[in-house]
Every structure is written in C-alpha cells, then in structure tokens.
Amino acid sequence: MAKGKAKKRTSFRYELQLNSAHGGGGGGGGSSFEPSSQPAAADSPLALELCALAPAVPRERVAELAAVHGDDMDTLVSRLLELSASLGAEGTQPSGSSEEEGDDTSFALLPSELLGPLLASLPLQALGSLALACKSTRVLVAQHLSSLRELRHERELKGWSNRRVLSLLRAASGLHSLSLDAAGDVGASLLSQALSQPAARRLASLRISGAGAPRSGCDVPLVDAVQEVLFDLPAELAQLSSLALNSCPALNDALAERLGSLPRLTSLSLAENPQLSQEIARAARAFPAHLRRLHYPPTSPQVTSLLQRLPPLVQLSLRGWSRLGVLQVSCASLARLNVSQCTVLSLLVVRAPLLSSLNASGCRTLGEVFLGRCAVLRSLNLAQCKALHAMRAPAAARLDTLNLFGCRVLPPESLTPLLHTSGAALRQLNMNGCVGTIDLSEATVRQLCPHLVQLDCQGRKAKY
C-alpha cells in the first residue's frame, strides 16, 4: 500500500524534476531524459533530485543505485521507489541529509523570543509529545524543562504516574518551587522519592498537601512513613525559605516545631490541620528570627500570647479560626493580616504602623473593629461582617479600597468619620447591602470621596 501511494505521489514529480534539472522537454513537451555517462556522485544534481524523489533512501544508497542503473532510468526509479517503501516502513532516516541534519525541523529555527513563550504556553503533556517529534525538538524541550521554575503536581501533573513525575523532576534541574499531592500510599511513595531527587536540593519553596491522608480508611503504616519523611526535611532541605503543609494528617505538634526550625525559613503555612493542639504555640520559640509569613491552623484561641512570642512578622494568616473570639495584634513589622472566616470573632484591635492590607471578610459575629496607628493601610475588607456596628481607623488616610458588602447594621455614624479621613485617597467603595447607611446618600459619599472610580451603593433598602 505504501509502495502504491509513493508511486502515485511521485510519478509526475519525477518527470518534472528530472526534466527541468537536465534541460529535457524543450518547449514544455515530452519527457526526454539523457542519462549521464558518468556515475552519479552523492552530491551531484542527479543524486539530489533522486533523493528528493525517494526521501526515505539514504543518500549513499541513492548514489549506488544511480551508478548501477544510470543507463536505465525506468529501472532506477522503480528500484528507488521499492527501496523507499521498504525503508519508510522501518523508520529509516530520510535521504538528503546527514544524521545531524535529518532531525532538523522548522520549529527549531524559530527565534528564542518566540520559542520561549511558545514552549511555556504548552501543557506538560504536549511538551512530551513535542519531544518525540525529532532530535532538535527533543533538545529544545529538554532545555525548556531545565529552566522550569515552578511545578504544581495537583494541577499540571494530575493523573500522572510516579515514574513520569520523577522523570520530569530529573529533567527540571532549575526548579525553584514544587507543589506535591501526597495523599494515599502512592502519594507517600512519590513524596519520599521526589524529595530525594537532586532538584529538591535546590528548592526554595515546597508545598505538600494530604501527606498521610489515606485514600480510604485509616492506614497507620502510611502515617508513620510520611512522618519519617517530614522528620528528615530540616536536614535534607535546609535551604527552604517557604514551606506549606496543608491538610496533612501525618503532621503533629512535634513535627511542626521541628519544621519551624528551618534556618532560612521566611514563610510557613500549617493551615487546615485541625489535629494540631494548643501546644503548637510552643513552636514559636524555635522559629528563626527572620520568619516573616505565618499561616497557623485553626486551633488555639490563645492568640495574644502567641503573637507576643513570635518573631517580627510581615504576613500573618489566622483564616478560619473557629474558636477565635477576641484578637488584639500589636506588631511593628506586620504588613498583611488575614482573619477571614473567623466565625466567632467579635472584637478586632490592630496596632500596626506598617499594615497595608487587612482581610476580615466572613466574620459574621464581628461587631467592633479598631485600627490604631495604621497610617499606610491601603485595603480593608469587611465584607459579610453582618454584626459590625462600630468601626474606627483614625489614621487610615491612604485607604484605597474599602469593602463593606453585607454589613447590614453598620450605622452612618461609624462610616462617615472614616470617609472624612480617607476620602481623598479612596478609589473603590462597596456599600452594597449596608442597610444601616441608607441615610447616607450617594451624593454625600461622592462629595466626601471625590476620586472614586468604583462605587456600589445598591441594595441598601431593607426588603423586610
């Protein structure tokens, strides 16, 4: 079948190319051809035309056939087509090129300014297929993988076998950030093997989720195996600056304290680990002095004493603390604070001169907020704080974004002073659902905040 297709495809091409190459067919008629009395060299015009006719036949073999059958062109062409069909089925390298030239593709000729973004836009599965195209694309993909900076197992490698993931890690020699889904016995095995790869020694950021979580039921040996891997982390990956262990049943208080002692750690997340007890606060004593970002699990309500013993933080997340009733924060270096979804929080007091962002959305029992000395505050999110009735931020003159969506009982007496303070800087204001501020007209708001770009005053009329 391949032979017949090759004949059909090249019959007209043979006549046209050979006649035009050797001056046959004067005036465009006929297909006369005068064979050369000399054997065709591998780089002669005749050999090159024959190579184009049968690209699956090596150039040297074409020259040999031309030397043997040069006087009988019909026999030569038939022999070439037969050989081309047989070699093409075996995947032999095409003729007309050397071993190095045979793998070249036009894809490799693209400038690096286009090639880099093009490869970066392809999913990893497509990169694997591209690497199989030819030698040059294989080299290009290998170079791209060696420069890969971030890898997220739960998104980009979902469904991949451990063998394929480990092969990718070996190729990604420049990896900077790695995220692994270590749930189940397969995930635990992957975690152990992945962290033993040379690329892991150069990681700056590591995120592990589900470590020790069985796919179904309880698996004590699995938890023990994962705990052993986590215990060795400070010794094996001492260079880590960011570590996140989220939803890891294998994590306990002792391991959390040990992991917090990584010498270069600046960011630590222990979120979604309800198994950790109040004793986790003791881990603060072992944390490095340069720790700047901390995301604690929703466990201990002893927040004030905990914050007093922590190093000077830049970012603190207490999101989802279900037993946090009162929070008072006084931190000279704190820039970002997240206390969203703290469902029993009723009082929030923050004194942080460098605070730029505060998120307390979803705290449905939060009634009072006091922000003292927050002179550089730019973003304040109090959405869905349905019990909020008192709010003070006397120094927030640089406030750019204020979200009060769903603050139903907030009176205008609490909002107006803040608008007077930050009105000149305010660009975005959401008052949707602030039923208590119905007496504060939109015209008054725009007068107090003349530079508003986005204002939502809808939904301020009580429906019942």
Cα–Cα distance, 216 to 232 (Å, whole number): 26
- Token duo for residue 419: 């608008």
Q: Please report the DSSP string for 122-186 in residue order.
A: S-HHHHHHHHTT-HHHHHHHHHHHHT--EEEHHHHTTT--HHHHHHHHHH-TT--EEEEE--HHH
Cα–Cα distance, 382 to 359 (Å, whole number): 7
Q: Give the total number of structural domains in the chain.
A: 2
Give the residue from 212, 198, 258, 208 showing the smallest Cα distance to 231: 258
Residue 225 lies in a domain: no
Q: Please report the DSSP string for 379-425 in residue order.
A: EEE-TT-TT--EEE-TT-TT--EEE-TT-TT--HHHHHHHHHHHTTT
Range of the domain at 453: 316-464
Give the residue from 368, 420, 358, 364 showing the smallest Cα distance to 391: 368
Residue 160 lies in a domain: no
Q: How many CB atoms lie within 10 A of CB 44?
A: 15
Q: Which residues, at least 6 apart from 384, have a Cβ–Cβ distance to it below 8 Å?
A: 361, 362, 363, 364, 405, 406, 407
Please report the sign of the dihedral spanned by the C-alpha atoms of residue 119, residue 125, residue 127, residue 130: negative
Fill in the DSSP letter of residue 26: G
Asked if 404 and 415 count as a contact pair (C-beta separation under 8 A), the reply is yes
- DSSP-based three-state secondary structure for 452: coil
Residue 40 lies in a domain: yes
Residue 233 lies in a domain: no
**What's the number of CA atoms in the CB half-sphere (13 Å) around residue 115?**
15
Residue 9 lies in a domain: yes
Size (the chain), residues: 464
Phi, psi for 238 (deg, rounded to 5): -70, -15
Give the residue from 20, 19, 23, 17 showing the smallest Cα distance to 53: 17
| Burial zone of 367 (CB within 10 Å; 0-12 exposed, 13-18 middle, 19+ buried) | middle
Cα–Cα distance, 289 to 77 (Å, whole number): 80
**Identity at 336, one-letter amino acid code:** R
Cα–Cα–Cα angle for 356, 345, 351, rounded to 5 degrees: 35
- DSSP-based three-state secondary structure for 430: strand
Residue 400 lies in a domain: yes
* Chain center to CA of 463: 44
Give the residue from 335, 320, 178 showing the smallest Cα distance to 242: 178
- Token duo for residue 364: 């449905």
Q: Which of 89, 107, 125 is the last residue of a domain?
A: 89
CATH code for the domain in which residue 396 is found: 3.80.10
Q: What is the pLDDT along the chain (464 residues), one digit of tens a residue?
A: 444 444 433 333 334 333 333 444 443 333 333 444 444 555 666 667 677 666 667 777 777 877 777 667 767 776 776 676 666 444 444 444 444 444 445 566 667 777 778 888 888 878 877 777 777 778 888 888 888 888 887 667 777 788 888 888 888 888 888 888 777 666 777 888 888 888 888 888 888 887 766 655 444 466 777 788 888 888 888 888 888 888 788 888 788 878 877 888 888 887 777 777 655 655 555 566 566 677 766 554 444 444 554 566 788 887 877 777 888 888 788 888 888 988 888 899 998 899 999 999 999 999 999 998 899 999 999 999 999 999 999 999 999 999 999 999 999 999 999 999 998 999 999 999 998 888 888 899 999 999 999 999 888 765 54
- Token duo for residue 447: 């007068």
Asked if 2 and 85 count as a contact pair (C-beta separation under 8 A), the reply is yes
Q: Which of 35, 65, 89 is the last residue of a domain?
A: 89
Cα–Cα–Cα angle for 214, 215, 220, rounded to 5 degrees: 20
Give whole-number Cα distances, 31 to 11, 22, 66, 285, 439, in Å.
Answer: 12, 11, 19, 93, 96
Residue 263 lies in a domain: no
Q: Which of 38, 57, 89 is the last residue of a domain?
A: 89
Residue 323 lies in a domain: yes
